[in-house]
C-alpha cells in the first residue's frame, strides 16, 4: 500500500503530541483570543511546519503527502494553530528565495477577490491592496503574500504584519481571520522576489483548498468517533441508543461520508506535484467538492445522534463541527469548486471524461 512506514510513524507521533498538548482546555482558551503558544512550540519543535523546505533552507525535504496527513491529524484534535498556513507560507517564501520564520506564519491572499499590487520605489517596493481574512495574522511572526508586480506575480514576506492596518475577525470556530489593508506600505528589496518554484497565486489557492479539505476529513473522523462512542454510552428506553436501528443507519451514513471525505482528500494529496497543474487543480477541486458535501451531511448526523448535549459548549463535538462549517467556506466553498470540476470536464468534452478519471 502507498502508506509508507515513515508516514505512519510521523502520524503516530503527531497523534501523541496533540493528545498531550491539544486538550479541550487548550482549544477553549484559544477561542478567547490568546494564542496557543505552548501547543505551537511543541509542534514547531518537531520541525513539521517547515519540513517541506529543502534541507539547505532549514527544512527536511519532506513529502507533501506526509505533511498533509499531519494536517489531518492536527484537525482531529481541532488544533488552534496556523499549521497549514505556516507550511504554505514557508513554501511560498522559501521557493522564491525569501526568508521564513520558526514562528507561526500566515499566508495569502486566501480569497480570489482580493487584489494586492507591488510597485517599485527606488531600491524597494510599495505594497497596496487588501488581504482579507488571513488566518491568525494577529499572531503571525511573519506574513507571506503573493501580489501583482510590474512583471508578473511576486512574493512579499515580512515580519509581523508589516505596517498594514489590521482589522480583527474570526470564523465561527473563533479562529482568527484578520484583514490586512496595505496603503503603499514600504518593503525593502530583500522582502520581495518574483515567484519561483511553482509558486503562484493559483497554486497557493489550490494548496489552501486542499489543506482545508484534508483538515475537514480529520475533523470528520473526530466527529464520527464522538458520535459512535456516544451512541454506545447513552442509554434510553433501557438500552444504548446504538441498538436502535434508526441510529445505526444514521451512523452508517456518517461513516460512509467520512470514508469518502478521507478518500477524496487523498485524491488531491496524491496529485500534488505529481501531475500537470491542470490535473492537479481538477483533483483538488474534486476533493474540496466531495469533502464539502460530506461535511454538510455528516455534521447534521453527528449532532442528531448526540441530542442536546452536542449543542453545548461543554461537550467537544462543537469543536469539530464549528470548524467544519467554517472550513468548508474557506479557500472556496464546495459549490465554487464543483463548478470548476464541471467546467473542466465540459471544456475537455464528454469523450475525455473517462480518461480524465483513469489516466494519470
Task: Write down the least CB distance from residue 170 to other proteins, Å.
Answer: 28
DSSP secondary structure string for all residues of 130-185: EEEEEETGGG-SEEEEEEEETTEEEEEEEETTTT-EEE--B-TT--BEEEEEEEEE
- Contact flag: residue 302 with other proteins (CB under 8 A): no
Q: Does 127 bind other proteins (CB under 8 A)?
A: no
Minimum CB distance to other proteins smaller for 142 or for 306: 306
Q: 9 is written with which cell numbers? A: 510513524
- Min dist. Cβ of residue 258 to other proteins (A): 7
Gap between the Cα atoms of 318 and 302, Å rounded:
10
**Out of 122, 152, 238, 349, the residue judged to bind other proteins by CB under 8 A:** 349
CB of 115 to other proteins, least distance (A): 22
Instruction: State the minimum distance, in angstroms, from the CB of residue 5 to other proteins.
Output: 13
x/- map, 162-201, other proteins, by CB under 8 A: ----------------------------------------
The SS3 call for residue 129 is strand
Angle at CA of residue 116, ends 112 and 122, nearest 5°:
160
- Decide: is 319 part of the binding site for other proteins (CB under 8 A): no
Any idea which residue has 467537544 for its cell?
316
d(CA 312, CA 155): 43
One-character DSSP codes across 287-305: HHHHHHHHHHHHHHHHHHH
25 exposure class (CB count in 10 Å sphere: 0-12, 13-18, 19+): exposed
Q: Is 306 in the site for other proteins (CB under 8 A)?
A: no
* Binding region for other proteins (CB under 8 A) out of 85-93, 140-148, 168-176, 332-340: 332-340
- Cell numbers representing residue 137 in the block: 495574522
For position 221 contacting other proteins by CB under 8 A, the verdict is yes
The residues that touch other proteins, with contacts defined as CB under 8 A, are: 1-3, 76, 221-222, 224-225, 228-229, 231-232, 242-243, 245, 248-249, 251-253, 255-256, 258-260, 262-264, 266-267, 269-270, 283, 285-287, 289-290, 293, 334-347, 349-351, 353-354, 357-358
Amino acid at each position: 500500500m502507498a502508506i509508507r512506514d515513515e508516514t505512519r510513524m510521523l502520524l503516530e507521533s503527531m497523534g501523541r503530541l496533540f493528545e498531550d498538548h491539544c486538550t479541550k482546555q487548550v482549544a477553549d482558551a484559544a477561542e478567547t483570543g490568546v494564542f496557543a503558544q505552548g501547543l505551537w512550540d511543541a509542534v514547531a519543535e518537531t520541525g513539521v511546519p517547515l519540513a517541506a523546505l529543502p534541507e539547505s533552507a532549514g527544512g527536511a525535504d519532506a513529502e507533501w503527502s506526509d505533511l498533509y496527513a499531519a494536517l489531518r491529524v492536527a484537525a482531529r484534535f481541532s488544533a488552534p494553530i496556523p499549521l497549514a498556513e505556516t507550511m504554505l507560507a514557508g513554501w511560498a517564501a522559501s521557493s522564491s528565495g525569501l526568508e521564513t520564520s520558526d514562528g507561526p506564519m500566515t499566508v495569502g491572499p486566501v480569497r480570489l477577490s482580493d487584489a494586492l499590487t507591488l510597485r517599485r520605489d527606488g531600491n524597494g517596493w510599495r505594497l497596496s491592496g487588501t488581504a482579507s481574512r488571513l488566518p491568525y495574522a494577529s499572531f503571525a511572526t511573519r506574513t507571506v503574500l503573493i501580489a501583482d508586480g510590474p512583471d508578473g506575480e511576486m512574493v512579499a514576506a515580512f515580519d509581523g504584519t508589516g505596517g498594514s492596518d489590521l482589522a480583527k475577525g474570526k470564523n465561527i470556530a473563533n479562529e482568527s481571520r484578520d484583514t490586512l489593508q496595505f496603503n503603499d506600505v514600504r518593503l525593502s528589496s530583500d522582502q520581495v522576489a518574483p515567484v519561483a518554484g511553482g509558486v503562484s497565486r493559483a497554486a497557493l489557492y489550490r494548496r489552501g483548498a486542499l489543506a482545508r479539505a484534508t483538515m475537514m476529513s480529520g475533523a470528520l473522523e473526530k466527529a464520527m468517533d464522538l458520535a459512535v462512542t456516544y451512541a454506545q454510552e447513552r442509554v434510553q428506553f433501557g438500552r444504548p441508543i446504538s441498538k436502535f436501528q434508526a441510529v445505526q443507519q444514521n451512523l452508517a451514513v456518517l461513516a460512509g461520508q467520512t470514508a469518502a471525505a478521507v478518500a477524496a482528500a487523498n485524491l488531491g494529496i496524491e496529485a500534488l506535484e505529481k501531475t500537470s497543474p491542470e490535473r492537479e487543480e481538477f483533483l483538488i477541486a474534486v476533493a474540496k467538492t466531495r469533502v464539502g458535501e460530506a461535511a454538510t451531511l455528516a455534521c447534521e448526523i453527528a449532532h442528531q445522534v448526540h441530542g442536546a448535549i452536542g449543542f453545548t459548549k461543554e461537550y467537544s463535538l462543537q469543536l469539530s463541527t464549528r470548524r467544519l462549517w467554517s472550513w468548508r467556506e474557506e479557500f472556496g466553498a464546495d459549490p465554487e469548486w464543483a463548478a470548476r470540476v464541471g467546467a473542466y470536464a465540459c471544456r475537455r468534452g464528454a469523450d475525455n471524461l473517462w480518461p480524465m478519471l483513469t489516466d494519470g
